[in-house]
Each structure stands twice: as structure tokens, then as C-alpha cells.
Amino acid sequence: MIITSRFLARPVRLLSTSAAFVSCIRLANTPHFHVPAGLSQQLQQPLRKMHIQSIPMWVGSSNNYAYLVSDDESKDAVIIDPANPPEVTPVLAEKSKSLNLTAIMNTHHHWDHAGGNTKVLSSLASRSLPVIGGRDCEGVTETPAHNSTFSIGKNIRVTALHTPCHTQDSICWFMEDEATDERVVFTGDTLFIGGCGKFFEGSGAQMNRALNEVLAALPDDTRVYPGHEYTKSNVKFLKKVLPDNRALDELARFADENQQTQGKFTIGQEKAHNAFMRVHTDEMKKVTGQTDPAAVMDKLREMKNAG
């Protein structure tokens, strides 16, 4: 039977009773999948393209980190501060099956960061890779200007941030995953979780600029990957100068429960619990007896050095 209506654009054929019953059976037997709201949102989010593998070195002594950063789409990768070849080259050899190493990068020239460059290069099939870092790094071939950018593969945007103080050739590497907007910064010995490096070649004024102008200007959600695992000792000092800081409680708890803290804290969190990024506050001025931020920085470093 066919019926028409002024509300219908075209005639509609009614099913017979038996046909309607079969149709209902089919609908009832059709599986219905419920996707949880949280999972649905995750499925809609772009997949991360930037991958970071930490390579601990000299664990129990200097507790350094090298970092292998790769673009998941192109498989291009760089190795940052591969200072101890016996601990780095086995990782690179294994990863060479799936990744294309395109450069060595350094945060500064000290031997425990750049001292493995030549040996690492000699272990690779291609020994002509660029070495990107400060002017005094071993075997350096490229020193990008402050705020200059380049890419790793198709999805990782790198910005060079010059932060002279620990050494005059110190460079922090800010990286952004252009697929997800995830942000990280490799800070070498300029910024540690809860601390900063010694002023071997610079002054408090330079470190203040490095931490509180250059790095503090990064988005607060930028995760920090330092050159050493010093968090536990840094917390001990922070408890002396920031006894009433609630943000420090979270850092202390995490450091107590975990051996590694790299990539677990952000620039925003460092601003909250790191005394060296709080030199402008009244509490730090009172602790140090200084008022100028550069002088506060110098005094805090002096106090930290004294233990």
C-alpha cells in the first residue's frame, strides 16, 4: 500500500506486517557500541608526533641525561648531549633500524655534554652529520642564532634560545610538536628541576635573564628536560629558602617517590617552586637580604654552593 501526504515530499511504501517484524528483528540484533566521552575526545585528538627517549648516563655519579628526539611521521631524529658513547651508541644502533639520525645537538661545550660528539660520529654509518650547538662544542658545525628556528622531520619545530651564564655558549632548545602543540625545552645546565647551573662563565645578571626573561617567556605548559638529575638535592636547598611554599610540597613528594624527574614538570611549575625563578619576589629578597633581582640571584647561588 502506498500513502501520500501534504507533509511528505514523496509517497512512502508501507511494509507488510511480516516485513516490518523482520525489520525490527534486524534492528534489535544490530550491535550498539557505546564510546565513553573521555575516549571519544581522545580519539578526536591528533596523535603525538614528537617522541623523546631519555638516556641516563653515569647514574650514581653525575647523573647526566642524553635525549633522543624523533618525529614519528618522517622518522627523522636528533641526539642531544650524547656525552658518554658507551651508554649512547647501543641505543642509537638499535634505533637505527627504525629512525634516521639527522644531527647531534648540544646544550653547551662542557665535556659531560659535548665530549662524546666525535666518538659518536665515528660509530655511525654516516659520519658527516651536522653537530649543532654553541661555538665551543666539540666538532660543532652549526651554531644557530638566538631565536632562529629549524625543523626535525615534518612536525617538530625547534627554536634556539641562547642562555649564556653557566657557559657563554649555552643554548636551550625549545621544541614544539606542530601536530599537537605539545611543547618541551632541553635546558642543559641552565635550568634544572628546582634549581639552576653554576655561574662558571657568567653572572647573576646573566642567569636572571636566562631564567626569568628567556625561559620564563615560554608557555607555562612547556615541559622541562634538564641535563642532570639533581632534583632531590635541589629540594633540600629549596626547603631552606622556601619553607612555606606549597608548590614545593608536590615537587618534594614526586622526587621522593621517583628516581627520574625529567619531563615531569613545566615552566609554569618551575616559576612556582624554583627559588631561582622567583628572585623578584619579596620572600626571596628577604631570604637573601638583596633587592635587585640580579643580586638576589647571585646570593641564592652563593647559598646553594655553600650547601
Give the domains, in start order, of the chain with CATH numbers. 51-229 (3.60.15.10)
Q: What pLDDT was estimated at residue 126? A: 79
Catalytic residue among 72, 81, 189, 298: 189
Which residue in the block uniquely carries the three cell numbers 627559588?
275
Q: How many whole angstroms separate alpha carbon 222 and alpha carbon 30?
A: 46
Q: What pLDDT was estimated at residue 25? A: 38
Q: Does residue 71 carry a pLDDT above 50? A: yes
Look over the chain and give the mean of its residue pLDDT values, rounded to a whole number.
90
Cell of residue 78, nine digits: 636528533
Q: Does residue 60 carry a pLDDT above 70? A: yes
Nearest one of 58, 104, 52, 102 to 223, comparing CA atoms: 52
Catalytic residue among 110, 177, 273, 298: 110
The band of 44, judged by pLDDT with boundaries at 50, 70 and 90, is low
- Tens of pLDDT, residue by residue over 73-88, are 999 999 999 999 999 9
Q: Which residue has the higher pLDDT, 255 or 4?
A: 255
> Would residue 181 show up in a list of annotated catalytic residues for this protein?
no
Q: Which residues contact 294 (CB under 8 A, 6 or more apart)?
A: 203, 204, 205, 208, 279
Catalytic residue among 72, 76, 162, 228: 228
Which residue in the block uniquely carries the three cell numbers 609554569?
268
Catalytic residue among 109, 162, 166, 273: 166
> Would residue 189 show up in a list of annotated catalytic residues for this protein?
yes
Q: Please state the pTM of the whole predicted model.
A: 0.86
- Tens of pLDDT, residue by residue over 85-128, are 999 999 999 999 999 999 999 999 999 999 999 999 999 987 78
Q: What pLDDT was estimated at residue 42? A: 52
> Would residue 166 show up in a list of annotated catalytic residues for this protein?
yes
Nearest one of 99, 53, 101, 63 to 83, comparing CA atoms: 63
Q: What pLDDT was estimated at residue 27? A: 41
Identify the weakest region by mean pLDDT among 28-37, 114-123, 141-150.
Answer: 28-37
Q: What pLDDT was estimated at residue 125? A: 84
Q: How many whole angstroms separate alpha carbon 296 and alpha carbon 287?
A: 9
Q: Percent of the chain scored above 90 by pLDDT?
A: 83
Catalytic residue among 72, 76, 81, 108: 108
The answer to whether 232 and 225 are in contact (CB under 8 A) is no
Catalytic residue among 109, 113, 162, 273: 113
Nearest one of 39, 11, 67, 294 to 185, comparing CA atoms: 67
The total of other beta-carbon atoms located within 10 Å of residue 137's CB is 26
Which residue in the block uniquely carries the three cell numbers 565513553?
36
**How many residues are listed for the chain in this entry?**
307
> Would residue 34 show up in a list of annotated catalytic residues for this protein?
no
| Cα-to-chain-centroid distance, residue 102 | 19
Q: How many whole angstroms separate alpha carbon 190 and alpha carbon 157?
A: 21
Catalytic residue among 112, 169, 177, 298: 112
> Would residue 113 show up in a list of annotated catalytic residues for this protein?
yes
Q: Does residue 33 carry a pLDDT above 70? A: no
The residues with which 156 forms a beta bridge, in sequence order, are: 152, 177
Provide the 8-state DSSP code for 266.
B
Q: Percent of the chain scored above 70 by pLDDT?
A: 85
